[in-house]
Amino acid sequence: MRWIKKTSDRFFNLRVKEKEDLESRLVRYYADFLIISALLLLCGIGGGDPLCNNEGGIVMSKVLLRSEDWVYLYSEIASVMQERFALDPIWEDQEDENGIIHSVRTSESEDTFCELCDDVEEIMSKVFEKVDA
């Protein structure tokens, strides 16, 4: 989670008003994420009865996701996190061999994106199970 250290160093150098705005956005995003996760768990998406086992105890079954949905979900969540909270530019324009300009991630933002993907996958594995379909 090196990106946390980099982000916290940048955060330390911001003015008070900028810090308050960033903290507010982080809290709202985190709250949204928790609400969505709770709704997915309570709805029992993925089949079966997620709330009961044979002994009468409460058990939460994992939501089954196809591999392509798994990749889509973790990459989209990581991308949104990075775009909302990046303090440095994420994208730069590069010209290909045909003269067409494409927006690509900077090398630092690519590293951060990969770290975010790992973090999101770790969280997802607690709620979802990846299956090949």
Q: Both tokens of residue 9?
A: 């160093």
What are the angstrom distances between the C-alpha of 61 and each of 23, 47, 48, 76, 129? 33, 9, 8, 24, 9
Per-residue pLDDT tens over the stretch 93-131? 999 999 999 999 999 999 999 998 998 888 888 888 899
Q: 17, 28, 15: which is closest to 85 by C-alpha? A: 28
The pLDDT of residue 34 is above 80: no
Per-residue pLDDT tens over the stretch 87-96? 888 999 999 9
**Residue 92 host element (H or E):** strand 91-95
The mean predicted confidence, pLDDT, of the chain is 74
- The more confidently predicted of residues 119 and 48 is 119
